[in-house]
Amino acid sequence: GAGVSQSPSNKVTEKGKDVELRCDPISGHTALYWYRQSLGQGLEFLIYFQGNSAPDKSGLPSDRFSAERTGGSVSTLTIQRTQQEDSAVYLCASSPMGVGYTFGSGTRLTVV
């Protein structure tokens, strides 16, 4: 598509449930990033995929967080056993060679 697409745009879940967030990057972009933005805060790096290389997972806050990227395109961020502190906007971005990110509109996750 023309831009980075994320779904769902909003997700409300009960504490302890698992959630999956989806990102469709711009076609042909080899790099894909996930960031988290808490209320009134900047963007916190979570994970980075580049082509077939091993992902950089250094930003994942706990082992409840995981992400995969299938076929070098769509990516899914999974949060297991959600906690209230996981509430945030989760942003996905893609770029052709690691420069000039294009962000999606994000998924607003609320854990109640």
Taking residue 45's Cβ as centre, other Cβ atoms within 10 Å add up to 13
User: Closest separation between CB of residue 42 and another protein, Å?
Assistant: 4
Taking residue 102's Cβ as centre, other Cβ atoms within 10 Å add up to 15
Tokens for 53? 């290389």
Question: With binding defined as CB under 8 A, does residue 25 bind another protein?
Answer: no
Name which of 74, 65, 86 is nearest 32 in CA terms: 74
Report how far residue 14's alpha carbon sits from residue 1's, in angstroms, rounded to the nearest whole number.
32
Question: With binding defined as CB under 8 A, does residue 26 bind another protein?
Answer: no
Report how far residue 54's alpha carbon sits from residue 52's, in angstroms, rounded to the nearest whole number.
7
User: Closest separation between CB of residue 86 and another protein, Å?
Assistant: 15
| Segment lying near another protein (by CB under 8 A), choices 11-19, 64-72, 77-85, 93-101 | 93-101
Of 2, 39, 99, 112, the residue at the interface with another protein (CB under 8 A) is 99
Of 45, 81, 85, 96, the residue at the interface with another protein (CB under 8 A) is 45
CB 80 within 8 A of CB 13: no
| Residue type, position 54, single letter | A
Question: With binding defined as CB under 8 A, does residue 56 bind another protein?
Answer: yes
- Interface contacts to another protein, rule CB under 8 A: 4, 31, 33, 35, 41-45, 48, 50, 53-54, 56, 58-59, 91, 93, 95, 98-106
